[in-house]
Amino acid sequence: MSSRPRRRLWGMTKVLAGITTSVDGYVAGPDDRDGQGLGAGGERLHYWVFGGPWSYDNEPSGDTTPQDAGWLEDTMKGVGAVVGGRLTYEAAGRWGDRNPWGLPFFIVTHRTGDQPDGDAFVFVDGVEDAVARAREAAGDKDVHVMGGADVIRQALAAGLVDELTIIVAPLILGGGKQLFEGFTQSIELEHIGLRQSPFATFIDYRVGAAA
């Protein structure tokens, strides 16, 4: 099952946010930490990325399905800069101090003095400033807010997100870190796309005004 490709208005930068969640709303299992950024059992959330089972102890061995690869390609080909959170950065082992996107990457953190040498990552104090700088760096391309959950909640609360993709893995985690934990705003969403594979359902929304 696939949606039509999303139309893009050239010259108009959009802010996209996307994150994977379990059916019961968790973006990580319990005990997420350095070297285990998705928590206990949370690797199952991202089977769609690797084409099947993987774990922190075992390298992926599958091939990404056409549906999953297609969503990632369709989304990222229009992206010119990325925004992520400090917790995600640390939990990912700082990506080995190598930018995984090959694009300007802005990390939201109150400890901007911790920024590593080089230009792989730019530490920025606050979501609004990070998105503003990412928009400038992206030029006429889009900005992708990759998460974690706290950064996406902040961006939504500040009215910064134009489109939101919730990637639902066919999994009930039963505990861990919730996507909308503590979020109290009411926001209207317009359904604009759907894509499905054996490992995930991608639901695209246009974000409206707070209700």
| CATH number for 178 | 3.40.430.10
Answer yes or no: is 72 within a domain: yes
What does the pLDDT read at residue 3?
A: 41
Where does residue 210 rank: exposed (0-12), middle (13-18), buried (19+ CB within 10 A)?
A: exposed
In-domain check, residue 85: yes
Q: b/e per residue, 91-125, with b = 16+ CB within 10 A?
A: bbeeeeeeeeeebbbbbbbeeeeeeeeeebbbbbe
**Do the domain assignments include residue 186?**
yes
Give the CA distances from residue 72 to residues 79, 93, 105, 202, 209, in Å, rounded to whole numbers and listed in that order.
11, 22, 17, 10, 27
pLDDT given for residue 211 in this prediction? 67
Rounded mean pLDDT for each run of 10 residues along the chain, 211 residues in total = 40 89 95 79 91 80 87 91 94 89 96 94 97 96 95 97 97 95 95 94 92 67
Is 10 among the domain residues?
no
Q: How far apart are CA 127 and CA 76, in angstroms?
A: 20
53 part of a folded domain: yes
Asked, for residue 182, whether it belongs to a domain, the answer is yes
Query: Does the predicted model carry a pTM greater than 0.75?
Result: yes
Domain annotation covers residue 69: yes
CA distances from 30 to 27, 43, 63, 170 (A): 10, 12, 27, 18
Q: Within a domain: residue 155? A: yes
**Residue 105's beta-bridge partner residues?**
82
Residue-range definition of the domain harbouring residue 57: 15-23+39-210
E strands in the chain: 15-22, 26-28, 79-85, 105-108, 122-124, 142-147, 163-169, 177-178, 187-196, 201-210
